[in-house]
Amino acid sequence: MRLEVLPGSAIDGTPARWSGAVLCRDVVGAGGRTVLTKGAVLAADDAAILESAQPVELHLLWLDEGDLGEDAAAIRIAAAVAGPGTSTRAPVESQARLVSAWRGLVQVDVPTLAAVNLIDGVTVFTVPDGLPVDAGRTLAGVKVTPLAIAETAVVAAERAAATSTDDADVLSVRPFLPLRVAAIVRQQLTDNARARFERSLGLRSDWFGGSVLPVRYIDDDARQVQDALRAAAASADVVLAVGVASVDPLEVTWQSLLASGATSIRRGLPMHPGSSYWIAELLGTPVIGVASCGMFSRRSALDLLLARLHAGLPLDPTYLASLGHGGLLGREAAWRIPPYEAALDEDPEEP
């Protein structure tokens, strides 16, 4: 590519002196108003605008064979990083956007994204991995920082985007599955508290497109707890054991779960609220032990666990260990929680 500073006196001559060149900075007309923006490819039709603006000089860039303008480059790189569940929008101010095609869980291949951004002049910026999003949500912006770039750099970015070791796309959205959630509650609750808990659980499940089986309230009889757990695991996709004393290894729900043949996955999570939750598997169904204090939480580890399960992903030890990064779920972490939180906040405080 070739750079040129063209004096304003040359504008009144033949348009061939500047037509086809890329503007490197804005052209400002009367009153300080921008009449032509940087990045624009000048055409003969711009002659009247230039003659009226009378710039002192034009900063121009001429593309050579093998060069790409910023819009064309952004379109190609966006196509390279876009995976299932994403839709590409045409560049605006030379930035191509990727938006969510459906409601689901965002997946970002972070190492591959970094490899793409190692190409000088290429920038791809996304929302965080694991974010639950609705359809139409902006997920990423893609652009090149110079006004033009060598096609070899774009090819390098395309190749980098295809280097994931597990054939994952750089950016994708996993659609939520309509899972059935069963809840077993060992807790003495008033009728009002039961209604609040069931509404809270229903709002969460509805947002993911799932459903909640009738909540079963039981006492401390070990046989009854064991039977309830096995029945729930056989009929639902996710089981919540609610109201447990999760730090007690002799607690009746935990012991009944083990007696039912369940496999322990993890006791305790590196998150707050939710550090005392436990995860197990019974009859191939994930079981989440939710402490009493988590029954009415506006945001907790349960929200992230439900989102992952509804996206068809497992609650494996590696994932659960990763929750420590960003595991403080205060108000500043509300962006990590699906938008049902606003509806939950309409409830009065727990009595």
pLDDT grade, residue 344 (50/70/90)?
low
pLDDT grade, residue 331 (50/70/90)?
confident
Query: Which range (47-61, 170-184, 222-236) has the least confidence?
Result: 47-61
CATH topology classification for 2-62: Molybdopterin biosynthesis moea protein, domain 2 (3.90.105)
pLDDT for 187? 78
pLDDT for 351? 34
pLDDT grade, residue 350 (50/70/90)?
very low
Tell me the average pLDDT of the chain. Answer: 92
What does the block give as tokens for 255?
Answer: 């012991």
Segment 293-314 mean pLDDT? 88
pLDDT for 307? 97
Segment 212-237 mean pLDDT? 95
Segment 208-235 mean pLDDT? 95
Would you say residue 348 has pLDDT above 60?
Answer: no
pLDDT for 193? 87
Would you say residue 123 has pLDDT above 60?
Answer: yes
Would you say residue 155 has pLDDT above 60?
Answer: yes
CATH superfamily of 180-344: MoaB/Mog-like domain (3.40.980.10)
Q: Which of 289, 309, 179, 285 is nearest to 233 (CA)?
A: 285
Segment 295-306 mean pLDDT? 86
Q: What does each C-alpha distance from 111 to 28, 86, 166, 171, 285 come to in angstroms?
A: 42, 19, 12, 12, 31
Question: Domain spans of the chain?
Answer: 2-62, 67-174, 180-344
**Which residue type occupies 313?**
L
Segment 22-41 mean pLDDT? 91
User: Which CATH number is 67-174 given?
Assistant: 3.90.1170.30
The residue that leads in pLDDT, 298 or 125, is 125
Q: What does each C-alpha distance from 332 to 138, 299, 326, 327, 328 come to in angstroms?
A: 20, 11, 10, 11, 9
Helix (H, G, I), strand (E, B) or coil at 189: coil
Segment 125-154 mean pLDDT? 97
pLDDT for 294? 65
Q: What does each C-alpha distance from 297 to 191, 196, 300, 303, 309 come to in angstroms?
A: 18, 11, 6, 10, 19
Would you say residue 246 has pLDDT above 90?
Answer: no
Alpha-carbon span 116 to 97, nearest angstrom: 16
Alpha-carbon span 308 to 32, nearest angstrom: 52
The residue that leads in pLDDT, 4 or 281, is 281
